[in-house]
């Protein structure tokens, strides 16, 4: 006779899912015991939501290169197996979008991925991906949270499922190759017409481009370093001094095209550096991609941007008669629109970009391939492509973002209360014309600039975003916002 399962205790503090998964500090919030409780609950919810549309009761389990990520994945896999599900556990690290793709391609219930994406070294996390191949929507994570907070009734222990190991890299790379003119890209690199640098930031994109392109590239920070050189695996200029230095040195001795790509810890976010050493965030890359996909690849469908996206994005979409949609920040909101509408491309300011011809998930390696194809087909540097789009639309605004650490949750609550009860009427000496509050507070000013004030969904951080006619005005606006926050 089967023995009764133990009663699941109420977790204290409660586990809460942010903009993309549950994250916490290793050994403090993120522990083996808590992962062993969350993973089977997530599997049960995935079965409840997607079970009627899938071929079998299989859960994909994967991980990135963070400290003990593979051990946490093993714990998750075993706990899911013991809950009666069949499990396919990755043999090695891989990009998060690769696990999303495999879940969809193999008609699994979904995927559980151990990753904290771009967060600093002390963090690890658990992302839940649905059978459709993307991040589950908020109503699904709310179900997981609710089950964790409500001890289930005692029931007989289920018959354990199966557990097998697998390597997704070969099939994933093959699929990505088929989405671009891989031969043209490889020829340009082999002929010395294009040099590709890739800063994988010690993360899950390591070896990825080389495996896909099958020609040599200049990859840096490809070793495993769970401390991330003392920084964070986030594609921001302050972490890229080595890439900037290498590309400047290369530029002095070569006249050919060059590009540098930057991938975050789990390879779902991307940034780039052009041949002249200029940093290009997705605020610049998304317009380039819209133009390439619409003009050279004939993509159609909507363009989806988040509330923090550049005003250049709808201007480029208009050039190609592509409808524009705007969502809160977080790719799961973009994924929802991708499931409901015909979409060409959807992207967010932080570097996540997805495509209607792929899964409803951001995929940084695919973005790199499309950008390489744009360079090869146009014969132009990424920076030149961006400047040409600015000229065509007569939109030459600049953008930056400031992440402001908060000292306590009480400070966060005071700031939220201030913004809610006393809306800002003037910012940096300019009148506020309107305020959009679908995610944080986006203030549009009289001179066309905008300031977005919002709170991180994963860290105790106030995020400040600004786009303005000049970088001087961007910095002035962000400095004003920082000063305002310090006095609330």
Surface-to-core class of residue 362, CB atoms within 10 Å of its CB (0-12 exposed, 13-18 middle, 19+ buried): buried
Q: What is the mean pLDDT of residues 388-394?
A: 98
Q: What is the mean pLDDT of the chain?
A: 94
Residues 214 and 359 in one domain: yes
Q: Measured between alpha carbons, how far is 414 from 408 in angstroms, rounded to an integer? A: 10
Specify the pairing of strand 398-405 against strand 194-199.
unpaired
Residue 134 pLDDT: 94
Q: Mind giving me the DSSP string for 11-50? A: PSSPP--BTTBEEEEBTTTB-HHHHHHHHHHHHHHHHHHH
11 domain residue, yes or no: no
7 domain residue, yes or no: no
Residues 215 and 338 in one domain: yes
0.85 exceeded by pTM: yes
pLDDT digits 0-9 by tens, 248-264 = 999 999 999 999 999 99
Residue 9 has pLDDT above 60, yes or no: no
The single residue listed with the structure tokens 């392109």 is 213
Nearest in space to 393 (alpha carbons), one of 466, 322, 319: 319
Residues 191 and 292 in one domain: yes
Residues 368 and 389 in one domain: yes
- Mark which of 393, 408, 430 sits at the end of a domain: 393
Q: Measured between alpha carbons, how far is 165 from 5 in angstroms, rounded to an integer? A: 27
Number of structural domains in the chain: 3
Q: Measured between alpha carbons, how far is 324 from 312 in angstroms, rounded to an integer? A: 12
Residues 205 and 323 in one domain: yes
Q: Measured between alpha carbons, how far is 31 from 9 in angstroms, rounded to an integer? A: 15
In angstroms, the first-to-last Cα distance of the chain is 62
- Mark which of 393, 426, 453 sits at the end of a domain: 393
8 domain residue, yes or no: no
Q: What is the mean pLDDT of residues 48-74?
A: 96
pLDDT digits 0-9 by tens, 224-246 = 999 999 999 999 999 999 999 99
384 domain residue, yes or no: yes
pLDDT digits 0-9 by tens, 477-486 = 999 999 999 8
Q: What is the CATH number of the domain that holds 322?
A: 3.40.120.10
Q: Measured between alpha carbons, how far is 248 from 258 in angstroms, rounded to an integer? A: 10
Cβ distance 198 to 260 under 8 Å?
yes
Cβ distance 126 to 42 under 8 Å?
yes
Residue 4 has pLDDT above 70, yes or no: no
Q: What is the dihedral of CA 123, 129, 134, 137, to 10 degrees?
A: -90
Locate 248 and state its tokens.
């400047």
Q: Which domain holds residue 437?
A: 398-486
Residues 427 and 362 in one domain: no
Count how many Cα atoms sit within 13 Å of the Cα of residue 465 in the half-sphere of its side chain: 23
Q: What is the CATH number of the domain that holds 456?
A: 3.30.310.50
pLDDT bucket at 14, cuts 50 / 70 / 90? confident
Locate 285 and state its tokens.
């890359």
Residues 385 and 311 in one domain: yes
Cβ distance 86 to 59 under 8 Å?
yes
Locate 76 and state its tokens.
């998750």
Strand partners, 399: 467
Specify the pairing of strand 194-199 against strand 218-220.
parallel
Q: Measured between alpha carbons, how far is 406 from 427 in angstroms, rounded to an integer? A: 21
Locate 462 and state its tokens.
């106030």
Nearest in space to 345 (alpha carbons), one of 374, 387, 388: 374
Residues 193 and 295 in one domain: yes
Give long-range contacts, CB 8 A cutoff, 24+ apart: 479-488.
480/427, 480/428, 481/402, 481/427, 481/451, 481/453, 482/402, 482/404, 484/424, 485/404, 485/415, 485/453, 488/411, 488/414, 488/415, 488/418
3-state secondary structure of 54: coil
Q: Measured between alpha carbons, how far is 145 from 231 in angstroms, rounded to an integer? A: 31
6 domain residue, yes or no: no
9 domain residue, yes or no: no
Q: Measured between alpha carbons, how far is 312 from 286 in angstroms, rounded to an integer? A: 9
CA distances from 1 to 4, 8, 103, 152 (A): 9, 21, 34, 20
Residues 449 and 328 in one domain: no
Residues 286 and 243 in one domain: yes
Q: Mind giving me the DSSP string for 257-278? A: EEEEEEE-TTSS-EEEE-TTS-
Count how many Cα atoms sit within 13 Å of the Cα of residue 319 in the half-sphere of its side chain: 19
Locate 1 and state its tokens.
């006779």
- The alpha carbon of residue 431 and the mean position of all alpha carbons in its chain are separated, in whole angstroms, by 34
Q: What is the mean pLDDT of residues 309-324?
A: 97
pLDDT digits 0-9 by tens, 70-101 = 999 999 999 999 999 999 999 999 999 999 99
425 domain residue, yes or no: yes
Residue 294 pLDDT: 98
Residue 155 has pLDDT above 80, yes or no: no
Residues 176 and 163 in one domain: no
Residue 458 pLDDT: 56
Residues 73 and 218 in one domain: no
- Mark which of 167, 187, 204 sits at the end of a domain: 167
428 φψ region: left (φ > 0), alpha (ψ -120 to 50), beta (else) = left
Strand partners, 242: none
pLDDT bucket at 221, cuts 50 / 70 / 90? very high
313 domain residue, yes or no: yes
């Amino acid at each position: 006779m089967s023995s009764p399962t133990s009663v699941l205790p109420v977790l204290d503090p409660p586990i809460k899912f942010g903009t993309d998964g549950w994250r916490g500090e290793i050994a403090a919030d993120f522990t083996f015991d808590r992962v062993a409780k969350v993973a089977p609950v997530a599997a049960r919810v995935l079965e409840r939501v997607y079970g009627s549309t899938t071929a079998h009761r299989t859960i994909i389990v994967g991980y990135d290169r963070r400290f003990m990520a593979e051990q946490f994945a093993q714990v998750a896999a075993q706990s899911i197996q013991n809950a009666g599900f069949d499990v396919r556990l990755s043999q090695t690290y891989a990009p998060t979008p690769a696990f999303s793709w495999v879940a969809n391609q193999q008609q699994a219930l979904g995927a559980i991925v151990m990753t904290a994406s771009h967060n600093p070294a002390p963090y690890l996390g658990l992302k839940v991906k649905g059978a459709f191949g993307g991040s589950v929507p908020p109503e699904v994570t709310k179900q997981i949270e609710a089950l964790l907070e409500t001890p289930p009734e005692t029931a007989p222990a289920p018959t354990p499922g199966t557990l097998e190991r697998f390597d997704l890299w070969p099939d994933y790379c093959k699929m990505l190759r088929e989405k671009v003119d891989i031969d043209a890209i490889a020829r340009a690199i082999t002929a010395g017409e294009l040099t590709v640098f890739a800063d994988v930031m010690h993360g899950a994109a390591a070896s990825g481009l080389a495996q896909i392109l099958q020609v040599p590239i200049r990859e840096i920070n490809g070793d495993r370093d769970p401390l991330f050189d003392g920084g964070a695996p986030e594609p921001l200029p302050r972490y890229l001094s080595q890439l900037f230095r290498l590309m400047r040195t290369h530029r002095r001795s070569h006249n050919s095209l060059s590009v540098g790509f930057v991938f975050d810890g789990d390879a779902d976010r991307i940034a780039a550096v052009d041949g002249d050493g200029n940093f290009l965030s997705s605020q610049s890359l998304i317009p380039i991609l819209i133009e390439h996909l619409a003009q050279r690849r004939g993509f159609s469908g909507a363009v989806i941007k988040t509330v923090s996206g550049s005003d250049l994005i709808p201007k480029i979409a208009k050039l190609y008669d592509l409808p524009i949609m705007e969502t809160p920040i977080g790719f799961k909101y973009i994924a929802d629109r991708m499931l409901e509408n015909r979409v060409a491309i959807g992207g967010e300011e932080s570097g996540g970009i997805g495509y209607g011809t792929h899964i409803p998930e951001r995929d940084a390696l695919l973005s790199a391939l499309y950008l390489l194809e744009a360079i090869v087909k146009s014969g132009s540097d990424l920076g030149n492509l961006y400047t040409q789009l600015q000229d065509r639309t007569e939109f030459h605004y600049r953008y930056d973002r400031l992440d402001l650490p908060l000292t306590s949750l009480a400070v966060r609550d005071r700031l939220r209360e201030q913004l809610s009860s006393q809306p800002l009427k003037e910012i940096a000496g300019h009148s506020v014309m309107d305020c959009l509050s679908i995610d944080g507070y986006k203030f549009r000013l009289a001179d066309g600039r905008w300031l977005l004030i919002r709170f991180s969904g994963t860290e105790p951080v106030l995020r400040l975003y600004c786009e303005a006619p000049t970088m001087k005005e961007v910095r002035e606006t962000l400095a004003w916002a920082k000063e305002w926050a310090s006095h609330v």
